[in-house]
Amino acid sequence: MRMSATFCREQEALQRAKALSEPLENRRGIAMAAAKAWEAEAISAEKRDAKLTPLDKLDTAIARQFALEAGGDSDGQRISHG
């Protein structure tokens, strides 16, 4: 599953906040490393999204709608309702 740039930026901010509030140096380092990884993923997601043409976005929306109408999720899998 590809994550949106917005989600990645939110995770980056959470990890940076965690690093700032963490009293232990090694845990601060881990949180900062995680923040940097989320930042890199956000940049990657932004580049990927920039390459999508409006038609690609429309095709994705149409495919998602068909999947929802068929009772499945956006990957074409059936959703169990019971």
Q: Based on the fold, state whether residues 45 and 60 are members of the same structural domain.
A: no
Q: Based on the fold, state whether residues 66 and 38 are members of the same structural domain.
A: no
Q: Based on the fold, state whether residues 2 and 18 are members of the same structural domain.
A: yes
Q: Is the pLDDT of residue 80 over 60?
A: no
**CA 60 to CA 5: how far, in whole Å?**
17
Pair 42, 35: CB distance under 8 Å: no
Smallest CA-to-CA distance from 35 within 9, 5, 4 is with 9
Mean pLDDT of 5-28: 96
**pLDDT 10s digits, 17-76:** 999 999 999 999 999 999 999 999 999 999 988 887 666 778 888 888 988 898 855 444
Contacts of 13 (CB under 8 A, 6+ apart): 35
Show the domain range for 68. Answer: 52-82
Higher pLDDT, 77 or 35: 35
pLDDT for the residue numbered 15: 98
Q: Based on the fold, state whether residues 41 and 63 are members of the same structural domain.
A: no
Q: Based on the fold, state whether residues 58 and 47 are members of the same structural domain.
A: no
Residue type, 2: R
pLDDT for the residue numbered 64: 87
Pair 82, 71: CB distance under 8 Å: no
Domain total of the chain: 2
